[in-house]
Amino acid sequence: MAIDKIKKSIFLVPRDVYEKFLIELKNISSVEIISQQDIKSQEEIKSEFLGLKYDYIKTLSSKIEAIINLSKNYIKNLELKFNNEILNIKSESLTEAEEVCLKIENLYNKIKSLQTTLNLLESKKLEISNFEGINLSFSKLSKLKNFNYYFIKIDVKKLKNLLDETKNLQNLFIWVHKAIKESAFLFVLVHKEVEEKFLEISKKLESKFLNLQKDISSDSIEEDIKIKELEIEEKKSLIDEYTTELQNILKENIEKLIGVYYQLLEIQDFMSVQQNIGTTKYIKIIQCWVPQKFIHKVKNLVSKFPEVSVLFFEPQKNEDIPTVLHNRPVSEPYEFITSLYGYPKVGSVDPTEFLAPFFTIFFALCLSDIFYGFLMLLSWGLLRKKVSKTSEYYKLVTLFKYLGITSIIVGIFLDSFLGFSLFKDFKLPIKTALLDPLNRPIDMLKFTFLLGIIQITFGLMVNTVKSFKDKEFLSGIDSLSWTVFIVVFAPIVYKLFFPQDVPQNLVNIFSKISLLVFLFIVVFQSRDIKPIFLKPVNFFVKAYNTIGYYADILSYSRILALALASSAIAQTINLFVFKLFKAELLGIKYVEPALAPIVFVGGHIFNFVMGILGGLVHSARLQYLEFFSKFFVSGGRPIKLFQPIRKQMGG
């Protein structure tokens, strides 16, 4: 329930065991290498590791990455499995990977080239096919010295205009060969004397002149179509042949390539961290941040290398120390909620375990249904095996389990199962409903205000304890006095909203206590205000602060709003389905009853999803704005563990 302590460590590693030690240091995933970017230039850093040149590694890994991405188009359900023997790499494997990449690249380039040619042939064939059956001989047409011919595409709506405007032209012959959808395809034979006039009219009507002559290599359109069909079949056959060959090579080699790829990524990672490693003639100096919980792993590693020395130091305040959250297993999933807001500063309070019970209860109240809680558990059961434990989303998935269980329990006390009442609709002998957001919203509103008072005063008490612990006694008294004031002033505010629930004599007593506490706050917290005549102004400032605290408490009424919405939508869906089942909406027998199950399932899935989104967003908002503002100190950053690529990528 805290931020883990961080030690600064310095490893003194002889050059002859440096590479082996660095590999083992990475495998234990326990340290962050401290940035020392002024030690070396990039050229020196990325020159060599394990005898391999940086440029060579970078080029080969890029090639293999392209092959892996390509293989997803040819191999279904491809899984990228991580190689556990990260650096058991041999030069033969790299040479073989290069050769395989070259084969695949050549085949893929051939397929691409053939596909381009195929697309062009099909495009030409399609264009020529629009004039199939026109029965022309191009050899005879070429002998007509005084005539020219054109293939034209024109909008059907403009065809009549073309025919009308050219009907008086002598020695002009227009064959309307085909009309498809909005286009008409024409063959035109025109004498040179009227050609210019014809072209002028055609262009005015936005006719498209098709240059088919350059695409036709035979004497007739029909012959040319047959030739192109043969060419198309030939290209398709070659594409299929090369594709099959490519698939076979990929299936045989993809696992090896993926293994080599991750090994190369690891080596690149090693090369990049060398900028942070100092060097002398005989040793390498590695400075790291080590969380307290990993100290034993580091010491065990060093014990395997007698030549290596390690020194541990306490970090200095001005250093960029990472924040490592360290909570009990039951609270650890809630670190996901904390991290969304930001990491607490080293030396401040980790809010994770404090927010966990509040967030869980708030979410369950927003969802407010037993069956929806079971769906949360089902979601957890389905997702927990699909999400890696090293993934940042694994904590969110685990959170579903706790939220689901709590939602079931809260749903029982709200008497809701898919919008039905356990007591009224299912005839359970015991009435479990303690709250009913739909029928007794005022009781629920009172409860949400109570939750707000509890969480806000708890946040102030956390700040009080932390201040006293840090020997900041004045700040601690400030927080404590506000805590007392909020509690004693609560009955007075409560009286404003619910006048019949609070006895007047109790209000009178708490009014006097509240006034005394408030005056103490005004006087005590004016200690640093200068000049002295400005101190009375602090009265109005603290009055405004009082409004702020109770505005925060009022904000908890959003829990009622979401619970009310969830219950109302669920019951509306049920009523709608009931009317569908009885065909009372449109009076369409058989159809409406058939739609009823679909509407029931779809409606409740929609309500469930919206309930999750609303519950997560608004419960988190109450933590971030109302709770964290009382004690949370931001400014921390997560630790960047030096670890294998498979863990960095959630593998």
Q: Which residue in this structure is represented by tokens 């198309």? A: 232
| Cis peptide bond N-terminal to 531, omega within 30 | yes
Any idea how long the chain is? 651
DSSP classification of residue 638: B
Tokens of 53: 């040149």
Rounded to whole angstroms, the Cα distance separating 315 from 10 reads 12
Name the most confidently modeled range: 147-161, 499-513, 600-614.
600-614
* Among the listed residues 432, 399, 393, 444, the one whose alpha carbon sits nearest the alpha carbon of residue 650: 393
Rounded to whole angstroms, the Cα distance separating 294 from 211 reads 75
pLDDT tens, 72-109?
Answer: 888 776 665 555 454 556 777 888 888 999 999 999 99
Higher pLDDT, 44 or 56: 56
DSSP classification of residue 384: T
- Residue 387 has phi, psi (to 5 degrees) of -105, 125
* Among the listed residues 549, 551, 481, the one whose alpha carbon sits nearest the alpha carbon of residue 513: 481
CATH 3.30.70.2750 residue ranges of the chain are 136-219
pLDDT band at 650 (very low <50, low <70, confident <90, very high): low
Q: What are the start-end ranges of the E strands in 477-568?
A: none
DSSP classification of residue 625: I
pLDDT at 42 over 50: no
pLDDT band at 533 (very low <50, low <70, confident <90, very high): low
Rounded to whole angstroms, the Cα distance separating 392 from 397 reads 10
pLDDT at 454 over 80: yes
Strand 277-279 to 309-313 pairing: unpaired
**What CATH number was assigned to the domain covering residues 136-219?**
3.30.70.2750
pLDDT tens, 126-141?
Answer: 888 888 877 778 778 7
Q: 600-612: b or e for each residue (b if 16 or more CB lie within 10 Å)?
A: beebbeebbeebb
**What mean pLDDT comes out for the span 535-546?**
80
Q: 314-327: b or e for each residue (b if 16 or more CB lie within 10 Å)?
A: ebeeeeebbbbbbb
**What is the per-residue pLDDT for 86?**
47
Mean pLDDT of the chain: 87
pLDDT band at 301 (very low <50, low <70, confident <90, very high): very high
Do 386 and 34 form a contact (C-beta atoms < 8 A)?
A: no
**What is the per-residue pLDDT for 49?**
61
Rounded to whole angstroms, the Cα distance separating 421 from 432 reads 10
* Among the listed residues 458, 519, 511, the one whose alpha carbon sits nearest the alpha carbon of residue 483: 458
The CA R_g of the chain, rounded to the nearest whole Å, is 39
- Above pLDDT 70, what percent of the chain? 94
Do 467 and 479 form a contact (C-beta atoms < 8 A)?
A: yes
pLDDT at 538 over 80: no
* Among the listed residues 79, 99, 83, the one whose alpha carbon sits nearest the alpha carbon of residue 91: 99
**What is the per-residue pLDDT for 45?**
43
* Among the listed residues 368, 283, 231, 305, the one whose alpha carbon sits nearest the alpha carbon of residue 24: 305
Start-to-end C-alpha separation, the chain: 28
DSSP classification of residue 358: H
192-201, 405-414, 525-534, 571-580: range with lowest mean pLDDT? 525-534
Rounded to whole angstroms, the Cα distance separating 110 from 238 reads 9
Rounded to whole angstroms, the Cα distance separating 226 from 549 reads 85
**What mean pLDDT comes out for the span 133-157?**
84
Do 158 and 208 form a contact (C-beta atoms < 8 A)?
A: no
Rounded to whole angstroms, the Cα distance separating 352 from 333 reads 9
- Above pLDDT 90, what percent of the chain? 44
Rounded to whole angstroms, the Cα distance separating 509 from 511 reads 5
Total-model pTM? 0.75
162-171, 277-286, 426-435, 640-649: range with lowest mean pLDDT? 640-649
pLDDT band at 479 (very low <50, low <70, confident <90, very high): very high
pLDDT tens, 563-603?
Answer: 999 999 999 999 988 888 877 767 777 778 888 899 999 99
Higher pLDDT, 328 or 427: 328
**What is the per-residue pLDDT for 647?**
65
Rounded to whole angstroms, the Cα distance separating 411 from 401 reads 15
Helix, coil or strand: residue 432: coil
pLDDT band at 44 (very low <50, low <70, confident <90, very high): very low
**What mean pLDDT comes out for the span 187-213?**
88
Rounded to whole angstroms, the Cα distance separating 131 from 133 reads 6
Q: Which residue in this structure is represented by tokens 């805290």? A: 2
**What mean pLDDT comes out for the span 456-471?**
94
Judge residue 157's burial from the number of C-beta atoms within 10 Å of its C-beta, 0-12 exposed, 13-18 middle, 19 or more buried. exposed
